[in-house]
Amino acid sequence: MSAPNIVWTRIDERLLHGQIRITWGKHTEANLILVANDEAAEGPNAAFMQAGMKASAGGEYAVRFFSIQKTIEVIHKASPKQRVFILCNTPTDVARLVEGGVPITHCNVGNMHFHEGRRQIAKTVSVNQQDIDAFERMVKLGVSCTVQNTPEQTPVNVLELAQVGA
C-alpha cells in the first residue's frame, strides 16, 4: 500500500462550495475532493447535502463523501493518480483523521464562523476550547495548522492566533 497523494486538507464549516472549487481546487491541482464528514456521508440529510456540494464542484472534480471512520479505513487505497483534497468542517474531525492514521501534514483553516461560546481569532475563524484542543493534538502529531482564507493570503499559525486572542 502506498501513501495517498493528499494535496490539501482544509477546515471549512460550509464544506464544499464555490470558493473551494474556484480558488483552492485550482491552487492545489486536486482532482478529487473528499468530504470527510459523518453528517454529509450518512446523516438524515446526506442526499440533500451531497447534491448541493456536487453542484458546487461544477463537474471539475471527482467528489466523494465518506464518514471520518470510512476515510481512515480507505484512504490508503487511493490511487497514486488521485490528488486528494480532504475537506472537513471541524478541527476535531481532522484530528480524528490524523489520529486514525491518515497522513495529513498540513491543515488549512478557512471558515469557522462565530457562534455562541466561541471567540474570534481571525476574520473568518472563531474557536472554542474543543477546537483549540483538537489543533493542539494535531500539532503534537506533526501537523502544521494555519489560517489562510485564500492562497494569496499569508498563512498564520492558528495556535499563535488563539494565544493572542486569549
* Centroid of chain to Cα 145: 11
Nearest-angstrom CA–CA distance, 119 and 127: 6
Residue-wise pLDDT tens digits, 65-86: 999 999 999 999 999 999 999 9
Task: For residues 60 and 30, give the distance between their C-alpha atoms in angstroms, rounded to a whole number.
Answer: 10
pLDDT digits (tens, 9 = 90+) for 91-115: 999 999 999 999 999 999 999 999 9
- One DSSP character per residue, 99-157 reads HTT----EEEEEEB---TT-EEEETTEEE-HHHHHHHHHHHHTT-EEEE-SSTTSPPEE
Per-residue pLDDT of the chain (166 residues; tens, 9 = 90+): 578 999 999 999 999 887 888 889 889 999 999 999 999 999 999 999 999 898 888 888 999 999 999 999 999 999 999 999 999 999 999 999 999 999 999 999 999 999 999 999 999 999 999 999 999 999 999 999 999 999 999 999 999 999 875 5
Select from 111, 117, 108, 114 the least CA-distant residue to 126.
114
Catalytic center residues = 17
DSSP state of 77: G
Q: Over the chain, what is the mean pLDDT?
A: 93
**CATH code 3.40.50.720 for 6-164:** no
Q: What is the pTM of this model?
A: 0.94
User: In the prediction, which pLDDT does 50 show?
Assistant: 93
Q: What residue segments make up the domains of the chain, in order of their start?
A: 6-164
Please give the distance of CA 154 from its chain centroid, rounded to a whole number.
Answer: 18
Cα–Cα distance between 159 and 10 in angstroms, integer?
Answer: 16
